[in-house]
Structures are given as C-alpha cells and as structure tokens.
Structure 1
Amino acid sequence: MYQVGIDIGSSAAKTAVIKDGEVVKTYLLNTGFSSRKTAEDIYQMLEKDGIHKDNAAYVATGYGRISVPYADKSVTEITCHGKGAWHLFGRNGTVIDIGGQDTKGIALKNGRVMKFIMNDKCSAGTGKFLEVMTNRLGLTMEELSDLASRGNPITISSMCTVFAESEVISLIGKGTPREDIAYGVIESVVTKVVQLISQVEGDQYFLTGGLCEDPYILERLSLALHAPVESVPLARYAGAIGAALTAAV
C-alpha cells in the first residue's frame, strides 16, 4: 500500500508518496485558480504511476484540503508540517515554513508539536510578498537572491505589501541599484519572519516550504536568529510528507 499526502497551498500543490516508510515519489504543481481542478490533475498523475484508490490511502492538508474529494481524511497544516519535519530532520527544533500566504513557526520535541505561531493576516514576510517584489523588479527568485548577495544595505520599512511595493517603485525611480533593492526586499522578509519566530523559542531551526533550497535565505535567517537554520530539498514537501505519514496503511 502507498501512503499519499496532498498539500494544496495558495500558490503550489505538493504531493508526496510514501511506501515502507520512505518517500518514493513527489509531485509539484501550481495551485492555479481551482484547487478542485488541481486535485483532479494530481489524481491523474498518480494513476499514471500506478497509484490509485485500490492500493493507496490519501490524506489532504493545506489551504485547499477540502477540495480533494478522494481524500480519506484531511489533517491540519500544523500537524502535517510537524510530522513531515520530524521525518526529515529527526531532531528537536523549530520549523520555519514560509508559505505563499502565511508563515508558520512550529516547535518540535520528540516528534510532537509543542507550540506554534502563524501569521495569516498579512502577506508581508511570505511568498506572496516575494512574488510581488520579483515581478516588480523583473526577476526570478534565484536572481533576486543572487543580486541581494551583492547589494548594499537598504531598508524597506513598510509592513504592508502594497506600501512596500510603492517604496520599491520610488527607489527604482530614484535610480537605486537593483541589487540594493533586492537586498532590502530579502531583509524585509527575514526581519518579519524573525519577529514572528521569536515567539517560538529555539536553538536550531529547520526551513521548509518553497524557499528551502535558497542558500542566501538560509544564510540571512541564520544570522538574524543567531542559530543555524538547516534545510534539505525534500523540505519543500514537508506538509505533504506529514500528511502521507498520517494515512492509514
């Protein structure tokens, strides 16, 4: 039997397939306009790989978990991200998940969620903020981080994404070098994330979500938190992995 976890977020849908305790397949799709359509696309992809209702159990989580009609059950994001992170890192620590619409901090001890904090009322310090800024600067996320690593310190002070975008437009108009603006954008995200995560104490941190393979983000978070922030490529799928682990075999 396969255990399938489907994490439909606001920006990306992640799927992880576990068999005999190991992650054997992962899938990544843009969520798009319809979470239900995305869920159908995921099921078709799984079927093509020989994974279907007769040999698999399905658990849904994330923003669009109610839109997965074939799921055997749905589980909260916090539970799934905690289980997924413990599976990947196997140590006590604090999970930082920078999602499309929210940022989560989850304190883990012996595989259990001890405390969590979530910012879901503003897109500042989230993937949506970075999406807006990269679009405004005409960059990919990789290009933004590369430029930021060569930029001079500059502050983008607005807490609101809309006002922060106005700040960036003003800086562009003044002829501020793009690498300096990129530096300010990344530091703005790091500052907001650290402000949130400081409410969940920890001495080591694990980054999950779409930014998990960005070395510059990991470096800046580590410096700001005065503690190592680790990640692995599969950390992007932490929520989906956690969901799969809760699936009945």
Structure 2
Amino acid sequence: MNYFTGIDIGSTASKVVVLSEAGMEDRFVLPTGWSSRETSNEIARRLAEGGHPLGAGMKVVATGYGRVAVDYADKTVTEITCHGRGGWYLLGRDCTIIDIGGQDTKVITVEHGMPASFLMNDKCSAGTGKFLEIMANRLGVDLPELFTLAASGTPLAISSMCTVFAESEVISHIGAGERREDIAAGVVDSVVCKVAGLCARHTMAGDVLLTGGLCDSAYLVERLSLKLKCPVLTDPMGRYAGALGAALIARGKVTK
C-alpha cells in the first residue's frame, strides 16, 4: 500500500498527517524545539514506530517554517498552498482561511481548492500565537488558562503594534493592580483586532475558516467572529490543515 505524508514544521509546533488512498492513516503533533532538523529526524522515527517507515511506498511533502530541514521529503511546498488545500478539503467549498501561527498570521482566499490570493502580517510577532504565549508567560499561566481568564474579564487597552512595547503595557497594568482577567481579555482582544485589521486589507470571500493551533479556543473564535461580524468556523483537524494539505499534494502527485 502507498502512503502519503504531509509534514508541517512550524516555528512552535510540527504537525504530521499520513494518508493512504483509503483515507486518514495517522496524525500527530510535537513541539518543534530549537532545531527543525532534529524535529525532522524525530518525525521519521515516529513514523517508523507507527508502522509508516520512510522508503518505497511512502511519498513525503514538507511545508512550514522548517520545511527545508526535511531532507527526506520528495517535495517542499509553501505554507500558503498547503493551508489553502487543507482548509478547502476540510470545509469542502470555496472559503477564506485565517491561519494564526506561532510566527505569522495568514489570510488566504481559496477558490476551487487552490489559493487565489493571500495576505500575511508584517514581520512582527504581535497578532500571532507567539505573542499570546509571551503574554501568558508574563501573567504566569499557560494558553488554555489565558483564554479561561479572558472569558471572565473586560478587555483593557493594549494598543501597541510591537510585542516588546505591548509587553510593557501589560507590565504597567500588572503594576497598577489591574485584574488578571481584564489583562488577559485585553491581550486576546489585541490579537483579535490585529487579525481583523489584516482581514480588512484582504478581499474576503465565502465562509471563514480558522486553522492553526488557536482554532481550538472557543473564546478566541467567539471574539474573532464578533470583530469580523460573521461566523468563524473551525474543524477538529484545523490545526493540521497545513500538514493535511501537504499530504493531499503528495497523494495527488502520485496518482497523477
């Protein structure tokens, strides 16, 4: 049997999806760590351990921040193409995909299964998952706890467009004795506003699908829906969209 593996090595987490002609065979996620090459080797080990070793009968497509480190990949493809293909597959129709990653945020309009246009944020971690991680660490909580706190708070203003200055604003709020719930709500609201601002500069079309690791946060999805004034959809496989798209491309390459 032939297998088709998509590997999405992001700046924070790496996602892997294994397909066959019959459908999904395996999927897993692991921290990227400091070395994408070491992560690539660990993925190969886990694939073999799961009964899907590299070699004859296995085609691999890599994407993401560290895709060049996957030296056993048959092909590397951009994140835009893979997220577009994976998101379209999950939703089953033309749409606009928002991917809030660890390093960047992308808005992709997909038509007939392929990206028609896209826009990425500026080279700054503000408005990304990394920004949330930094601010959660400053508040002494993890990401799920940050969202739980935020759901019980009233957003405080965090207006800076720079992560370093935004962290200074958070420190000032802490020093002023503001409630952690209100600070957390302000942090999440800051990201939502930046993502919405990116969307406002892009031509949106069809339903909106959120992918990436943050698509599991009901609170963030709710806030983003309110800001965009339209429902933001998610999927249990949303965080794997890039890896899924890469695996679909691998499968298409073989069948053609």
Aligned to 2:92: 90
Matching residue of 1:3 = 4
Q: Give the 3 Å change call, closer, same or farther, for CA 82–177 of structure 1 in structure 2.
A: same
1:236 alignment partner in structure 2: 239
SS in 1 for 2:16: strand
Q: Residue by residue, what CA displacement relative to the aligned partner does 1:181-226 show, whole Å, maximum 9, x if unpaired? A: 0010000000000101122323521000001111001101111001
Range with greater deviation from structure 2 (152-161 or 197-206):
197-206
Question: Mapping of 1:140-159 within 5 angstroms?
Answer: 140-159=142-161
Q: Which amino acid aligns with 1:33?
A: W
Quickly say closer, same or farther: Cα 1:243–1:21, change in 2 above 3 A: farther
The reply to whether residue 200 of structure 1 matches residue 203 of structure 2 is yes
CA contact (8 A) 1:61 1:243 kept: yes
Q: Hey, what's the Cα distance between the residues in 1 that align with 2:156 and 2:96?
A: 29
User: Aligned ranges for residues 93-242 of structure 1 at < 5 Å?
Assistant: 93-198=95-200, 199-242=202-245
Query: What is the TM-score of this pair, normalised by structure 2?
Result: 0.95
Q: Deviations over 1:143-175 (max 9, x none)?
A: 111111110131101110000001101100110
CA distance in 1, matches of 2:179, 2:185: 10
> Could you tell me the TM-score, scaled by structure 1's length?
0.97
Aligned length: 249
Whole-angstrom distance in 1 between the partners of 2:246 and 2:73: 11
Q: Is the 8 A contact 1:105 1:200 kept in 2?
A: no
- Across the aligned residues of Structure 1 and Structure 2, the Cα RMSD in angstroms comes to 1.0
Over 3 Å counting, the alpha-carbon distance change for 1:242 and 1:135 in structure 2 is same
Q: Is the 8 A contact 2:98 2:105 kept in 1?
A: yes
Distance 1:22 1:116 in 2: 29
Separation in 1, partners of 2:215, 2:25: 20
Contact 1:61 1:75 in 2 (8 A): yes
Residue-by-residue CA offset, 1:41-95 (whole Å, 9 max, x unaligned): 0000001112121221000001100000100010011000000001111122110
Letter matched to residue 30 of structure 1: P
Quick check: 1:65 aligned with 2:67? yes
Contact 1:85–1:95, Cα closer than 8 Å, also in 2: yes
C-alpha contact 2:100 2:214 (8 A) present in aligned 1: yes
CA contact (8 A) 1:101 1:120 kept: no
Match of 1:245 among 232, 244, 248: 248
* Alignment CA distance shift 1:202-1:225 (3 Å): farther
Q: How far apart, CA to CA, are the structure 1 residues paired with 2:38 and 2:112?
A: 37
**Aligned-partner Cα distance in 1 for 2:166–2:15:** 29
Match of 2:184, SS?
helix
Alignment partner of 2:205: what SS? coil
For 2:57 and 2:49, the matched residues in 1 are separated by 13
Give the gaps of 5 or more residues in structure 2. none
C-alpha displacement of 1:21: 5.2
What is the aligned partner in structure 2 of residue 31 from structure 1? 32
SS in 2 for 1:246: helix
2:155 maps to amino acid: P
Give the 3 Å change call, closer, same or farther, for CA 68–189 of structure 1 in structure 2.
same
